[in-house]
Structure 1
């Protein structure tokens, strides 16, 4: 038996490919067969699969994979703003720009690198970006897949400007679910939230768990560091752990709005739920030379 080939099968793998539009994508695989796929367009995670090949992220059947549109699904990054304000495009420009593979990033610490597949990406503002948002920055993104199939997204934003700037950020995470009416979210009890369906009015969550029977678009403030999304029908639970991201956005467009979204199937709102780690209410402020780090860890466990 060829031991080197056997050894190769036990290693994490990173492969750079291109999609049909010629956009570079990076495929991460762990030794057990779980995988993740990241597009350099937007630094967007497009796929996250278990070792059995089951897709954990929703992507619309009508998704547009051609820039400058961000793909409807996966995990687009909203930066440097959330929402639609000022001269910036909605939810900022990071999700619509081409990122590059960051060759100069330090490797993982040896203790971290065992069986972990990861890729480092970098976004710097173009001259056009600086016209609409005049702040020099470096946004480093590390997407990793560990031996247990957990997905990690670590962001580092550095101010290389000579003046202070502030930004908001959100990881719009489209979880693939069996049916929106069969899902509940725990970890948001008693929190205040801003309701985007009521002019960002502030309310307090009254329920023990969040369940869904109509459109929802809320920013939960100063949440705990672990949120659980229970999918009863699929008997699985997504765990969202986060650091440096105090807020959680919960979004589902429901029937009426889904029909108005061009790149979303009319009935597809039933198969998706967005639960985003975010920093929105209190923007992150960086003085010259300062750096912010945010971490998002996604895992899935069997539940009864």
Structure 2
């Protein structure tokens, strides 16, 4: 696939180039200078920059594998599972890997995407990707079509819309997550608002169920939790940068929160020892209750991430809106 460019509404542009591994990537731009990069390796968003050119997603500087293996950072797509401990919910899937296979497959550009609402295309630079089963997916023998639209709006908001259709002759179930690595100044200076009083499964305590007690989530050690039945809007406040990420989701009842902290970082081959300080994963997800699709049925999961200037409080956000 060669180099090409197309012009969309508001002069927002999309360009196809190749990364250093020779794999096609799509660069989305808006008129104000914001940009996003999407790789066909995993359908993974690998960069999202604001109009000042600041990178908003974390990506590790330590690369330990070659494509199509997912890189550590950006927004990997986790399908058809998120945790290895979810394997019990699938039959005959003993070889499914952590976070599923979608992030380690080569996607294609969708030449015939289904129509979406005007709000999902107007004034936006976007690309439609497609993943279908391949012969090596014997561990998950189901026929499906996975369509992913990544769009960059005129205001710089980043949106991912996944549509998964069952073209199988029998029902199948899956769990899902947008594994979103946000770039932060210092994890010790970050707080999450919108998950207070919720129940969560703690992956550090044998998936035991707890209830969040704090006014906000702050970080002093490793955190690996799945917050259940979470609101559709969550705010991540970065005090040092006076910046707030606003995460909006639809069709994704749960929110996974993760930071490996110092000890675990040192054991990870694709993360430098101190990089945990600059990252925080806040993932829109469907984990506790897997999605089940009957033949012909389709599921849609949407994630939108925006950035606004902030003070020490997010009181000006309506976290229940959406």
Q: Give the TM-score range, shorter chain.
A: over 0.9
Is 2:82 the partner of 1:75?
no
Aligned residues: 297
Name the structure 2 match of 1:27: 27
Name the structure 1 match of 2:289: 282
Q: 2:152 aligns with which of 134, 137, 145?
A: 145
Cα 1:247–1:8 change in 2 (3 A) is closer
Q: Which aligned segments of 4 or more residues in structure 1 are displaced greater than 4 angstroms?
A: 7-10, 106-112
Q: Is contact 2:42-2:76 (8 Å) kept?
A: yes
Q: Matches of residues 165-176 of structure 1 in structure 2 within 5 Å?
A: 165-176=172-183
Distance 1:112 1:76 in 2: 21
Query: TM-score of the superposition, structure 1-length normalised?
Result: 0.95
Is 2:108 the partner of 1:100?
yes
Name the structure 1 match of 2:40: 40
Cα 1:109–1:249 change in 2 (3 A) is closer
Name the structure 1 match of 2:123: 115
What is the root-mean-square deviation in Å for CA atoms of aligned residues? 1.5
Name the structure 2 match of 1:185: 192
Q: Deviations over 1:126-156 (max 9, x none)?
A: 0111x11011000000000001000000000
Q: How far off is 1:66 after superposition?
A: 1.8
Distance 1:102 1:216 in 2: 37
Name the structure 1 match of 2:272: 265
Cα 1:18–1:107 change in 2 (3 A) is farther
Q: 1:228 aligns with which of 215, 229, 235?
A: 235
Query: TM-score of the superposition, structure 2-length normalised?
Result: 0.90
Gaps of 5+ in 1: 1-6
Cα 1:64–1:12 change in 2 (3 A) is farther
Q: Deviations over 1:66-113 (max 9, x none)?
A: 224211000001100111232201111000000000010146655654
Distance 2:154 2:32 in 1: 7
Q: Is contact 1:158-1:291 (8 Å) kept?
A: yes
Q: Is contact 1:63-1:73 (8 Å) kept?
A: no
Q: Deviations over 1:48-74 (max 9, x none)?
A: 000110100000010346224211000
Q: Deviations over 1:17-59 (max 9, x none)?
A: 1011101100000111100000000000000000110100000
